[in-house]
């Protein structure tokens, strides 16, 4: 390695809020790189992988999950205090996740629908991204994150540079991969034109329209997309539902789905 080795290894912490664990699992899915990574950083706090807890402060905190309880709203403040750099990993931490569908509904009704004793459930009315609560140094997209992007981001941090990740749409990745355009060639509804790059255009490579795991791309032209989907025969309510999955609360997707609802399309209740 060319860089001068630091005297002590940077301390890495991995935190979980409301989530499925899939993004932190992506760290353990780095089968070829995991042991090297553990050699380059001190894994100081990672409850899913280690029962050893090293006290903060931490040089880099990776945060998975969204804020859905008052307890977690407090906890994220403590995480921020202890972290020199804080990066969110995945759609829950970056946009609120699938659990942000409560933001469009009545959370008390949700609680009654799932739990026999709603009075025992303590939760907030909304699921919000980490950046709504504390300053975030970098947001990594995806439901789940792409593990190679995750490695790029952590590696960039170790060498003190900005991560090099494309902010383009999935369409550019699709072209690079040599996929046939499923929207143009097959008339398959696809969110690729407005979805942030990062997955490598997996869905179109499997004859499927993109469903927006990585959230809106920079400058996503939402009304134009709705127009295209309507031309494929989708009703406004169906388009709104299509935008309301794992990144439903991301501003561009949220604004467009609410515009469609207000335009008189059939809502999704």
Q: Which residues bind other proteins (CB under 8 A)?
A: 16-26, 28-29, 31-32, 34-35, 38, 43, 46-52, 68-69, 71-72, 97-99, 101-102, 105, 107, 109-111, 113-117, 120-123, 143-144, 147, 199, 202-203, 205-208, 211, 213, 241, 245-246, 268-269
- The whole-angstrom separation of Cα 236 and Cα 135 is 35
- The whole-angstrom separation of Cα 55 and Cα 39 is 19
Shortest Cβ distance from residue 175 to other proteins (Å)? Answer: 19
Shortest Cβ distance from residue 184 to other proteins (Å)? Answer: 17
Which CB atom, from 49 or from 221, has the smaller least distance to other proteins? 49
Shortest Cβ distance from residue 84 to other proteins (Å)? Answer: 22
Shortest Cβ distance from residue 31 to other proteins (Å)? Answer: 4
Which CB atom, from 143 or from 220, has the smaller least distance to other proteins? 143
CA–centroid distance for 78 within its chain:
22
- The whole-angstrom separation of Cα 42 and Cα 61 is 12
Token pair 């809502």 is found at: 267
Shortest Cβ distance from residue 171 to other proteins (Å)? Answer: 17
- The whole-angstrom separation of Cα 30 and Cα 76 is 26
Q: Can you tell me whether residue 113 is helix, strand or coil?
A: helix
- The whole-angstrom separation of Cα 179 and Cα 54 is 46
Which CB atom, from 17 or from 253, has the smaller least distance to other proteins? 17
Which CB atom, from 3 or from 119, has the smaller least distance to other proteins? 119
Shortest Cβ distance from residue 159 to other proteins (Å)? Answer: 21
Which CB atom, from 21 or from 81, has the smaller least distance to other proteins? 21
Q: In what order do the strands lie in the sheet with 58-64?
A: 42-46, 11-16, 58-64, 83-89, 138-140
Give the containing element (helix H, strand E) for 59.
strand 58-64
Which CB atom, from 29 or from 81, has the smaller least distance to other proteins? 29
């Amino acid at each position: 390695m060319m860089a001068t080795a630091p005297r002590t290894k940077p301390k890495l912490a991995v935190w979980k809020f409301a989530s499925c664990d899939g993004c932190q699992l992506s760290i353990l899915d780095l089968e070829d790189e995991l042991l090297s990574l553990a050699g380059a950083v001190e894994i100081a706090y990672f409850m899913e992988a280690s029962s050893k807890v090293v006290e903060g402060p931490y040089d880099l905190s990776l945060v998975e999950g969204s804020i859905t309880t008052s307890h977690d709203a407090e906890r994220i403040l403590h995480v921020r205090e202890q972290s020199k750099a804080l990066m969110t990993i995945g759609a829950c931490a970056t946009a609120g996740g699938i659990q942000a569908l409560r933001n469009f509904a009545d959370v008390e009704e949700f609680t009654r629908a799932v739990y026999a004793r709603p009075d025992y459930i303590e939760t907030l009315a909304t699921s919000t991204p980490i950046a709504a609560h504390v300053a975030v140094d970098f947001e990594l997209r995806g439901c789940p994150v792409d593990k190679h992007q995750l490695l790029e981001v952590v590696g960039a941090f170790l060498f003190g540079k900005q991560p090099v990740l494309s902010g383009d749409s999935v369409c550019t990745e699709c072209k690079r991969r040599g996929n046939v355009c499923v929207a143009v060639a097959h008339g398959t509804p696809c969110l690729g034109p407005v979805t942030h790059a990062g997955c490598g255009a997996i869905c179109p490579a499997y004859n499927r329209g993109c469903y927006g795991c990585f959230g809106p791309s920079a400058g996503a032209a939402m009304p134009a997309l709705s127009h295209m989907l309507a031309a494929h025969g989708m009703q406004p309510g169906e388009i709104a539902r299509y935008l309301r999955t794992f990144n439903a609360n991301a501003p561009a997707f949220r604004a467009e789905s609410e515009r469609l609802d207000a335009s008189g399309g059939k809502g999704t209740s």
